[in-house]
Amino acid sequence: MSFQRHCAAMVWRILVPLCLPWLTGCVASQEIRINQPEPAVPVAADQATAAAVSIDITPPPGMPMGGYSVMANRGEGFRTRLKARVVYLNDGKGQALALVQTDLAAGSLLVHHQVASRVAKVTGLNPGDIVITGSHSHSAPVNFFHNDFYNKHMSSGQWLEPDFLAFITERISTGIEEAYQRQRPAQVATGVKQVYGINRNRSLSAYVLNDNIDGIDLNDPQAKFRAVNPNLYMVRVDAEGDDGRYYPLAAFSSFSVHATTLAVPVEVYNADLFAYAQKDLEWQMRSRHETPWPVVHAMTTGTQGDMAPALPDRGDNTFGHHDVNWREAEQLGRRLGRYAIDLFEQLGSELSPQLSLASAAREVDIRRNNRVGDVVLCQDAAVGNPVAAGAYERRTPWLAAVPLLKGGNVMSRRWWFNTDGCQGNKRHLGFSFLQPLLEPKDSFPHIVLFQLLRINDTAILPLPFEVTTEAGRRISQAVLKELEVDEQPVRHAWVTSTSNGYFGYSTTVEEYARQNYEGGHTLYGRHTTPYIRAQLQQLAADLRQQGSLQQLLPNWRYALKTNRFLPPSTPVEGQRQWLQQQQWTLADASHEQDYLSWQWQDVGPSHIDFHRPLAHVEVWRDGQWQRLYRQYVPVSDDGYDLEVRWLENAEQGMAHYQLRWYEPLAGGQYRLVIAARGNQAALISEPFSVRR
């Protein structure tokens, strides 16, 4: 699509929902009722146990990618696979936790409820014992939320995709049950490491308004690299092998950075910079420690609301998008991975078989229960003007040129008339009297699972908001203060954003007044962070006084508009075949990469099963074909360098695909292997060499 056509389509997709709400009046809807599991207790044992599994959740082509809203593409294939990583812990005293990290834009309360209902009987886990986080990749599907608003506006497709919901639910449930079945005696350590040079503050003009922040010069080009959350948090888990020795098993970690190293025009599913940070630790620890199992690194995002990746600052974009640069994404992700590996190794000396777990969960309809103590939250959500124009460096082209819409501009916020209300000086997108007509109040998310998970001296605070750095600091400090008087005081408390759902942003009161993008996207008003802080502080107090608790709403029932994006199932009558053997494509710009490509005919997109291994490269060595590795990284579609794309559908239920090998290794004799699918045998390319 040409740039002009893309912009025209994008503006049309933005303005039509605002001006013609009747266009969506005939959309199909579905009522979803989920059975709440009976309260349960895992079987107590004599010692702490743990397990970890990595489950592939890469969907077929066609799903809208979330995070860039109407600007985002539909996924044509994948470059780094999407995973759901499960770390299961059992303290041996009747308390267990399932920590689930996904390479998705966010968790989903709907998915959480369905997973909790499915796994309860097998595992004994209560809903509050399970957290489903998202690393916030903007190159992953959404359309699986428990509300119409974000199913409508977070991607380039509208409404819930029931088949994708079922796919994600099944895959995560399978992962938790597999982990439960594999648990072994375990040792655990927790810690934190300060890391600079990975993130930078993209909303510095709002950050400096915080009452407790001073000494920052907005004209200092280095200030944005210091006004960050530098904390890399980690829970390391080792498990006992069959030989009686303990080996690295998993890490559950968090770092505060937006997964937006890849710009809007990206066309394939991927986990952004988190893929590299996760996989490098997994592969290197397995190689370094010769573990009898794959190591799992479940890295999720922290207080990243105002934390952009520390890429070269190319300035704002107003009339176009920045280039997609995979080199920069890999470099930054692998740098973060090196810090994670260092912390993982440091924690080796602190491993202990002593494990104490606790969970506290309280579901709240924040529209009906909008008061905690003297903190009052807005009862109704409202979208601010800055949301339309987007965030710094990832603006909505053309709309960002309109001063009323560009965040931080004096015209994008109110400066008179009703600026003291709960929504403060927010200018409502489409006007305050018109917005509720176009976006019904009940369409917004309004059910929050407030959750606190304790692992020894660490408290994890999953929230469905994108929490800014200072907002997260205030929330964490309130919880720490409440739990520091415990017999075993908590030393670390960290927020993991975009967990168990999605609610937009949570800024501080001071940041909100600036009405940058983050403030405009704080749906429930300027007191959102004080409200969250009060809720979690109360939850921490209840946990300290009562022990683990589960307080859920009386029922889980949703009525949601639906749509279909996954390819329909069609009978497969054709045969696999090569369409094109290896062909060189040379990069013609500095942000691009050279690659070899192949094209082949295969089963249609509904049968291609992207969540199963599909392609790898082999090298002729020692008289036989062996799998190729670049150091410890496999040259396969589970690595960094192979990309699979759907090109078009063909006759007889078949489709055409392309595989790209970026920056191929020179010097060997290779062949490409496409794994079998159904009754279609494996495809093996002609042997070839790479010469530069």
Angle, helices 109-123 vs 162-182, to 10°: value is 30
Q: Give residue 268's identity as a one-letter amino acid code.
A: V
Does residue 436 have a pLDDT over 70?
A: yes
* 8 A C-beta contact, residue 426 and residue 458: no
User: How confident is the model at residue 26, as a pLDDT?
Assistant: 64
Does residue 647 have a pLDDT over 70?
A: yes
* 8 A C-beta contact, residue 580 and residue 167: no
Q: List C-alpha distances in Å: 98 to 125, 152, 392, 483, 642.
A: 8, 30, 35, 22, 31
Q: What is the mean pLDDT of residues 44-69?
A: 92
Q: By C-alpha distance, which of 21, 106, 94 is closest to 66? A: 106
The token pair at 207 is: 């950050």
Q: In what order do the strands lie in the sheet with 577-585?
A: 77-78, 642-649, 654-662, 595-603, 577-585
Q: What is the mean pLDDT of residues 674-686?
A: 96
Q: List C-alpha distances in Å: 334 to 190, 260, 369.
A: 22, 15, 44
Backbone angles phi, psi at 502, to 5 degrees: -145, 130
The helix/strand/coil state of 663 is coil
pTM of the model: 0.94
Gyration radius of the chain over CA positions: 24
Q: Sign of the CA dihedral 153, 155, 156, 162?
A: negative
Q: How far apart are CA 565 and CA 563, in angstroms?
A: 7
- DSSP letters, 96-121, are EEEEEEESSS---HHHHHHHHHHHHH
Other Cβ atoms less than 10 A from the Cβ of 333: the count is 27
Other Cβ atoms less than 10 A from the Cβ of 33: the count is 9
Q: What is the mean pLDDT of residues 216-230?
A: 95
Q: What is the mean pLDDT of residues 332-343?
A: 98
| Residue 349, Cβ density class (10 Å: 0-12 exposed, 13-18 middle, ≥19 buried) | exposed
Average pLDDT, the chain: 92
Does residue 21 have a pLDDT over 60?
A: no
186: CB partners within 8 A, 6+ apart: 48, 49, 50, 89, 237, 238, 239, 240, 249, 353, 355
Q: Whose structure tokens read 């075949």?
A: 577
Q: What is the mean pLDDT of residues 277-296?
A: 97
Written in H, E and C, the secondary structure of 612-654 is CCCEEEEEEECCEEEECEECCEECECCCCCEEEEEEEECCCCE
Q: pLDDT tens across 547-568, in order?
A: 999 999 999 999 999 999 999 9
Q: How far apart are CA 109 and CA 146, in angstroms?
A: 6
* 8 A C-beta contact, residue 97 and residue 453: yes
Q: List C-alpha distances in Å: 681 to 337, 557, 673.
A: 37, 45, 11
User: How confident is the model at residue 14, as a pLDDT?
Assistant: 44
Q: Bridge partners of 194?
A: 231
User: How confident is the model at residue 437, as a pLDDT?
Assistant: 84
The token pair at 530 is: 């004080």
* 8 A C-beta contact, residue 625 and residue 684: no
Lowest mean pLDDT of 398-407, 456-465, 678-687, name the range.
398-407
pLDDT interval class at 102 (50, 70, 90): very high
User: How confident is the model at residue 43, as a pLDDT?
Assistant: 67
Specify the pairing of strand 577-585 against strand 29-34.
unpaired
User: How confident is the model at residue 394, as a pLDDT?
Assistant: 81
Q: How far apart are CA 271 and CA 140, in angstroms?
A: 7
More confident: 589 or 607: 607
Does residue 584 have a pLDDT over 90?
A: yes
Q: What is the mean pLDDT of residues 15-35?
A: 65
Lowest mean pLDDT of 23-37, 476-490, 543-557, 659-673, name the range.
23-37
Does residue 1 have a pLDDT over 50?
A: no
Q: How far apart are CA 663 and CA 666, in angstroms?
A: 9
